[in-house]
Amino acid sequence: MTEQLDETECLRLISAGGVGRIAYSGRYGPAVLPVNYTLFEGSIVFRTAPGSPMDEDLRTGISDAEYQVAFEIDEIDMAAREGWSVLIQGSAHHVDDEAERASLSRAGVEPWPGGERELFLRVVPSRITGRRIRRADRPASG
C-alpha cells in the first residue's frame, strides 16, 4: 500500500539529517551521488570540495542562474518491506557569500568522506513530495 505524504510530514521525516542522494545532469550524463546533509532553514545543505566534479558540474557560469537538481532521502526496512521516500526538487545554490557561509557553518553538516570539503551547497526546494510504502495487511500509524 502506498500513501502520499504531505510537505509537513516529508520535512518531519528528513529533519534529523543523515545521508541523501543528489541527482543532476553532469558533463558525462546523469549523476546520483550520496552526501551527508542537514535540513537548515528550509533548505538541504551539504558540503563538497571546491573544484570537485560536482562543484564544476553545478556551476552555470551565468550570474544568478542555478542548476535544477533532485535530492532524495529515504528509509527502507527490507525485512518488513516498508519504508518512505522524500524527493526534493529545486535549485543548487553555491554558497560563496561569507555571511551565508558563516550561517551555514552553524548547521553542523560534515562531509561523508571527510577531508577538505569546504564548499557549502544549498538545495532550495521548489517542490517537496514523498510517499510511504507499507504492507497492505499492516494498519496505518501516525
Q: What is the pLDDT of residues 7-54, one digit of tens each?
A: 999 999 999 889 999 999 988 899 999 998 999 889 999 988 888 888
Q: Is residue 9 domain-resident?
A: yes
Q: Is residue 104 domain-resident?
A: yes
Give the pTM: 0.84
Bridge partners of 75? 84
Q: Is residue 114 domain-resident?
A: yes
Q: Is residue 129 domain-resident?
A: yes
Residue that has been written with the C-alpha cell 553532469 in this structure: 26
Q: Is residue 21 domain-resident?
A: yes
Q: What's the CATH number where 19 sits?
A: 2.30.110.10
Higher pLDDT, 9 or 120: 9
Whose CA is closest to 58, among 99, 11, 90?
A: 90
Bridge partners of 53? none
C-alpha cell at 104: 551555514
Calpha distance 98→1 (Å, rounded): 47
Return the pLDDT at 51.
83
Environment class of residue 39 by beta-carbon count within 10 Å: exposed (0-12), middle (13-18) or buried (19+)? buried
The model's confidence at residue 74, banded by pLDDT at 50, 70 and 90, is very high
- Average pLDDT value for the chain: 86
Q: Which domain holds residue 114?
A: 2-133
Count of residues for the chain?
Answer: 142
Q: Is residue 141 domain-resident?
A: no
Return the pLDDT at 109.
64
Q: In the 8-state DSSP scheme, what is residue 51? A: T
Please count the structural domains in the chain: 1
Q: Is residue 142 domain-resident?
A: no
Helices and strands in the chain, H and E counts: 3, 7
Higher pLDDT, 83 or 103: 83
Q: Is residue 35 domain-resident?
A: yes
106: amino acid identity, one letter: R
Write the secondary structure of 95-131 as one string of H (helix), E (strand) and C (coil). Answer: CCCHHHHHHHHCCCCCCCCCCCCCEEEEEEEEEEEEE
C-alpha cell at 91: 535549485
